[in-house]
Chains A and B, each alone.
Chain A
């Protein structure tokens, strides 16, 4: 208990518990209005989880589209289909038992899979505590075969500085060499943060809105540093899915408007 509180873990626990508890409340409640409210709380704290996982754009879209749009739609649906106060759609007990058995089995399978893999349990403690400047040096000290992308620039850098220093002992060249080294270091850091082998969180790199916008309209700016032509070609843009989703949304809009007002027109005709 002497360790300082990890605030990311604290907020993860907060948001995760709120999301899970209110998801359970959605299942267990039988009042449709309360279910809608619990669903709003659950999805809102899921947006908090998205922010914690570094997905700022997805989190804000979750708040805007889901909580602001879809759930307001659902609440309007609840209001428009409001039944008498005494009509309550109760589920029979046998169905509850069957659903609990199936759901418990499904959760057991999913949780067992999630827990069983060792590498998914999170970064090791010393690596996370290490400052941002120390992490690349630490990785260069023990080059790992599993992460060649981050280890290679760091391993190559000390050789360059060792070679260039005896050639030119005077100040300007040393400064140049230092600037070069700093540039290489920065490049290595960018590589390390693009490729998650570098485990320190680089806060400059956590804004995703520009990359997502570029990836939806044309080039993938996040994959330009990808070595190798084949994976770079595989990371092409999302322009075609974006178009398909746009047309899909248009069709859905027309279809929903048509479906929702059919009855009115029939009544007017009759």
Chain B
């Protein structure tokens, strides 16, 4: 299977989306900087968006008319907008935390620890 001469399919897009998603999950898990966790969330949302856009395109698959169509594009747009909103609020919380604690280490945010 030669990648350069064969047309790409849904599988290729799903693999790219899976790589972005897993990178985001791992990033959210291992980063101690709160902004690093935020970047992981952005990566996860982008992996999901790649899948939505790929499923919206019917030319990438060979099994008839079952695609998301324009719905996939609209859901991807809503995801982008909600990610922007989420980033704004999370950044405000992070700035507030930094002002109070002089650090952005998420391991130091343990005042509610029981």
Q: Which secondary structure characterizes the binding site on chain B?
A: helix
Cα A13 to Cα B12 in complex, Å, equals 9
* B1-42 interface code vs A (CB 8 A; 1 in, 0 out): 011111111111111101111111111011111111011101
Tell me which of A39, A69, A95, A223 has the highest count of chain B C-beta atoms within 10 A of its own C-beta: A39
Across-interface contacts of B109 in A (CB, < 8 A): none
Across-interface contacts of B46 in A (CB, < 8 A): 42-43, 46, 66
Interface size on A, residues (CB 8 A): 108
Interface size on B, residues (CB 8 A): 84
Inter-subunit contact A74/B39 (CB<8 Å): yes
Inter-subunit contact B35/A58 (CB<8 Å): no
Inter-subunit contact B22/A65 (CB<8 Å): no
Cα A49 to Cα B19 in complex, Å, equals 14
Inter-subunit contact A74/B35 (CB<8 Å): yes
Across-interface contacts of B84 in A (CB, < 8 A): 65-66, 69-70
**Which residue of chain A is the closest to B96 with respect to CB atoms?**
A259
Asked if A208 meets B73 with Cβ closer than 8 Å, knowing A241-B78, A259-B96, the reply is yes
* A182-194 interface code vs B (CB 8 A; 1 in, 0 out): 0000000000000
Inter-subunit contact A253/B88 (CB<8 Å): yes
Smallest Cβ distance from B71 to chain A, in angstroms?
A: 8
* B48-66 interface code vs A (CB 8 A; 1 in, 0 out): 0110011011111111110
Cα A103 to Cα B6 in complex, Å, equals 30
| Stretch of A2-10, A153-161, A163-171, A172-180 contacting B (4+ beta carbons < 8 Å) | A2-10
Residues of A135-149 whose CB lies within 8 A of B: 144, 146-147, 149
Smallest Cβ distance from B42 to chain A, in angstroms?
A: 6
Smallest CB-CB A-B distances: 3 pairs: A196-B58, A122-B9, A119-B63
**What are 19 of the A-B contact pairs (CB < 8 Å)?**
A8-B8, A9-B7, A35-B36, A39-B42, A53-B60, A66-B84, A77-B35, A81-B95, A81-B104, A96-B30, A104-B22, A110-B18, A122-B12, A122-B62, A123-B60, A196-B65, A197-B64, A222-B69, A223-B70
